Structure 1
Amino acid sequence: MDGGPHRVLEGDAVIRDLSRPYQARQGAPRIRAVHEAIFRRTYFADCRACSFCKDQCCSWGVDVDTSNMARLFAHAGPLEVRMGKSRERWFETEIRADLEFPGGRVGRTRAEEGACVFLDRDGRGCHIHAYCLESGLEVYGLKPLVSALFPLTFAEGTLVPALEVEDGSLACLGSGKSLYRGSRDALAYHFGDEFVLELDGLERLLPGTGGVGIR
């Protein structure tokens, strides 16, 4: 995962407008359309059970809004113990403006030795995700939005496949759930039940998907 949200939509992409814009619970982004490929492309969605990807999607840092940074800093003590890395090492110093993120200000997690600083190198997957499961916390409340939605992302108000899906570089592409079905719980948390119900309806209109997708 390159860790950024923005995608350039290709000329022949089929974009479906939604009945209304849906705003994320933290205030941004606002999604008003979806790329039809989110219902058609498939991948191995059970990340923590994957035995072949070698955490490829954690090979870079990830964009994270400053309010999400603050939520992570509120758990800095136990996260530092779990990670073995001080909070000063978690994020790059640059903060930039981006209105598609909550609060309009976004930074990025650091990449160290070829992977995101939050990658569990002694186990597997994301330290944030594992910490939430161990602590009984809502994963989507702490995990960066871009990470939570992957392999979906957002660009100019449209929900789209991540770049690694489009260019075929994502190791777990193939048989399995559709991109949408794999990310449905995260979408429901961030954008609400009405949002996923509308997407369920769009999915039913597409021949051959059936909630699973097309390779």
Structure 2
Amino acid sequence: MPDVRALSRPYPSRDHAPVLTHVDTAIFGARYFTRCLAHPTCRDWCCSHGVDVDEANVARLLEHADVIERFTGIDRARWFRDDVTHDAEFPSGAYRRTRVEDGACVFLDRTSRGCRIHAFCVAAGHDYHALKPIVSTLFPLTFDEGLLHASDEVHDHTLVCLDAPETRPPSPTLYRGVRDELRFYFGEALIAELDALEASHVPRTEPTRLRVLRG
């Protein structure tokens, strides 16, 4: 059974949504290879399916469309699927998904690897949080109805960079891998509470299965 703990209070993100109210303690036990571009075999596997992008985030990307097109060589008409999904857990209450081309997200750099949105932000001197989707930044954690938990790829063991239990030395836990990102979006108070839960947690050998796939 999932070991889900209620947080002491709701923690809204800096954009007011999502709001975290619970945490699955499996995030303190499962481990993964955090140095993404140094992984020898993953080949950007996590970018295979595209990603959900908040509509306000879509608008910010389109504000930079001219320079992003020049940087990536990808016409803005290819960036997003047309359908919009309404979801109150996203800051603007809705999101679109990036298109998948040739088996991967349209923003994947097929030459030197990694996310071209992130690469553009680094090259242009922008904070990547302004343009890179929150779902991408928090992966392999995600949120669902107030619950902070591991993404589906962790539960079904398809995440290529997920550590085997016998890996030595062990890689960071899911929580430690994105702790700084959680701090950025939700603040120091959440980190203090999660740190306390982490300290009291006895790691599980198997992450629990949940239903959402956002990445």
TM-score (norm 1): 0.89
* 1:107 counterpart = 2:102: no
Q: How do 1:33-72 and structure 2 match up within 5 A?
A: 33-72=22-61
* 1:25 counterpart = 2:14: yes
Q: How do 1:79-98 and structure 2 match up within 5 A?
A: 79-98=68-87
* 1:197 counterpart = 2:192: yes
Which whole-Å CA distance do the structure 2 matches of 1:134 and 1:204 have between them? 38
Contact 1:98 1:105 survives alignment (8 Å)? yes
Q: How do 1:117-156 and structure 2 match up within 5 A?
A: 117-156=106-145
- Give the match for residue 211 of structure 2: none
- Give the match for residue 171 of structure 2: 176
The SS at the match of 1:133 is helix
Of residues 48-57 and 151-160 in structure 1, the stretch that sits farther from structure 2 once superposed is 48-57
Q: Report the CA distance shift for 1:134/1:214 in structure 2 as closer, same or farther (over 3 A).
A: farther
- State the 4+ residue runs in structure 1 displaced beyond 6 angstroms: none
Letter matched to residue 193 of structure 1: E
Which whole-Å CA distance do the structure 2 matches of 1:183 and 1:111 have between them? 25
Contact 1:42 1:214 survives alignment (8 Å)? no
Report the number of matched residues.
201
Of residues 44-53 and 171-180 in structure 1, the stretch that sits farther from structure 2 once superposed is 44-53
Q: CA deviation at 1:129?
A: 1.1
Which whole-Å CA distance do the structure 1 matches of 2:38 and 2:138 have between them? 18
Letter matched to residue 53 of structure 2: V
Gaps of 5+ in 1: 1-11
- Give the match for residue 185 of structure 1: 180
String of CA shifts for 1:103-155, please: whole Å, max 9, x gaps: 11111111111000000011101001111122222122211111111000111
The SS at the match of 1:118 is coil
RMSD: 1.7
* 1:164 counterpart = 2:159: no
Contact 2:28 2:203 survives alignment (8 Å)? no
Q: CA deviation at 1:214?
A: 9.2
Which whole-Å CA distance do the structure 1 matches of 2:9 and 2:120 have between them? 36
Contact 2:87 2:95 survives alignment (8 Å)? yes
